[in-house]
Amino acid sequence: MSRPGRAACLLAAALAVTAFCAGDALARSYPFGPRTRSVNDLGNQFVPFHAHLWDLLHGRAEGGLLVNWQSGYGASFLPDLGTYLGSPFALLVALFPRDEIDLAVYVITVLKIACAAAAMTGLLLALRPGRWWAAGLLGASYALCGWTLADADYNPMWLDGLIALPLLCLVGEWARTGRRFLPGVLVVALAWTANFYTAYMATLGAALVLLLRLVLTRPPRRQALATAGRAVLTTVLGTGLAAPLVLTVYFGTRHAYPGRARAFSPVPAEDVLARLLPTSYGWGSPALYVGTTALLLALALPFHRAVPGRERAGWTALVLLAVLSLQWAPTHLVWHAFATPQGSPYRQTFVVCGLLVIAAWHTLSHGPPGPRALGPAAALFALITALAGPSTVLRPLTWPVLLLAVAGALGGLVLLARAGRRGPLAGLAVALLLGAQAGESAATTAVTTRLHLARLDDYAPWGGRQERQSALIAEADDWPRHRTDPGREQTVGNDPLLVGGEGAQYYSSLTSDVLSRTLTALGGGWTSRGRSVQSLDNAVTDVLFSVGARVHSPPDPHQRHSPPAAYPAHLTRRDVPPLVTVRPRPDNRPFGDSPYRNQEILLGSRVYTVPPLAVRDDSGRPLPDRRTGAGTARTRPVITARCPAGTQVHLWAPH
């Protein structure tokens, strides 16, 4: 790469990192303030899995690459490795202290954003020559697109797809020009290994870009077929290299507890348009924000006469079709490998953002658009803003940020068109464009970070609670003689991976069906539609699973709904049989409705007695059929039981 190309990539990375970190600082989010950034699955899954990787790399984990003995009484680890930790960036956790695992994940997130900015900048300059600072500006706008800020910054493995899209488009360029076959295969393999889910979407996007490039350049038929053949062969060989890990994840998914089936429902058009604007935020709508400058340039493309007509028509049509494909159920299924996601249904949005940025580059690389192009673009932008006005995804801060961003973007583009390549006006234009991009992206980051905390569940970073839990577990740990459970009062969904020990807790997209159903049948709790199983604080199951020590923690004070701590964290021990114990063959009775009888089936012995019960309604009258879900026992049923002194009453109330 030439010196201007390297400078452009460095500018893009620096601009993206500065705006992202400035936004988190404005939101007073970790590591720049007291507010946690561990929302949703970031705190529940990804930070604990990175902590387990740290333990593996330092030789401190119970298990290896194939089996994780700490979660779910022993679970397959290779599918989780391929799903959450396949990125080469994940290895960087080894460079941080164990108690700074949250900082390690944040730094990895920032580095991925920087690499995505640099990769897109390199692609833009490979597609067309142009001003190096303009490529850097648009590369940063891609890396800080709405999808990154709203969805991917707390799903860090998705950011590998953000990097993969421009790299796979470069592979398409190499196939078109017949160069770098082996590096292309390696890039495909790396993308699919890092995160196969977003790599699949990025591969579809790169295929669309290559197809359009072939249509626009009109090579001879034989040359076009040769290009297509090279691209297909590169993709097949690259995915073949990644197949051992990808197939492991695929088969792990087939054995996972089935999630909730969802039908795709498109969001209103005003929400789609509103997500193009800065500081907009909405769960379950496509986060299409790429910055006001990039959006204005993309809107100006059909009217910019310096761009050849075929290019104007081709890139405009591709962007429009990509946006429409977000809202149509058949194309939605194609984007998501023919399965509607259980979370956000617009996970392919980063591909559309990439196409918007490429279209913007085709406008600017042919020369700054003049009034004849900027005028209609500004009118279209105003129309988009007016149509998006009623949307609920817009924030009060949207309007002042939007006004400043439009002033900076339009002012910079107008000055650029008048100034030419050099002179004080050109310098002022560049400063306006870079400042507008950085400012609105920082504001969007800050608003999104604050709204994450307001809308999603959140978890505290590593602190005193985790230190105490970890110390108690280390005091009692005697694996594999017995298990040491981190406790029923959990901090996150993967406590064993985060603080140590070996328990029932396990939260993954690959939580096995047999584990979830078995623990539920034995009385275990769960969240996340059965894929986050919880610890069972029960004497019988502790004996069954050789839990010889158990941590008892007070409720997590970070969770605002939790009652105040009534006791300090402490440890209890129990005599249990060895981990591998030979018992008489149990009877072949299937599990029934009672978890206590199911426990006895596995134990091979009767240990529970059903006590005399009385169930009364809201007014205190007895209910003959003991049903508390209807009638007059809907709000405050009272259940009483009689038991001998020195024994306990256990209640199973799953619903």
Angle at which helix 196-217 crosses helix 181-194, to 10 degrees, equals 140
Tokens of 514: 């047999």
List pLDDT tens digits, range 439-452.
999 999 999 999 99
Q: How many CB atoms neighbour CB 341 within 10 A?
A: 17
Where do the structural domains in the chain lie, given as residue ranges? 11-256+264-455, 477-603, 613-655
Length of the chain: 655
Tokens of 111: 């580095």
Would you say residue 626 has pLDDT above 70? no
List pLDDT tens digits, range 84-117.
999 999 999 999 999 999 999 999 999 999 999 9
Instruction: Give the three-state DSSP class for 624.
Output: coil
Tokens of 264: 């795709």
| Spatial separation of the C-alpha atoms in residues 541 and 539, rounded to whole Å | 6
CA end-to-end distance (rounded Å), the chain: 62
What's the Cα-to-Cα distance from 198 to each of 84, 153, 158, 166, rounded to whole Å? 12, 14, 6, 13
- Residue 559 neighbours by CB under 8 Å, 6+ apart: none
- Residue 313 neighbours by CB under 8 Å, 6+ apart: 302
pLDDT value of position 421: 66
Mean pLDDT of 391-413: 95
Residue with tokens 């209640």: 651
Would you say residue 588 has pLDDT above 80? no
List pLDDT tens digits, range 522-539.
999 999 888 999 999 999
Torsion of CA 69, 74, 79, 82, to 10 degrees: -20
Tokens of 441: 């992206």
pLDDT value of position 634: 57
List pLDDT tens digits, range 456-475.
999 999 999 999 999 999 99
Q: What percent of the chain has pLDDT over 90?
A: 81
- What does 450-479 look like in DSSP terms, one character per residue? HHHHHHS-EEPPS-HHHHHHHHHHHHH--T
List pLDDT tens digits, range 123-147.
999 999 999 999 999 999 999 999 9
Tokens of 527: 């969240």
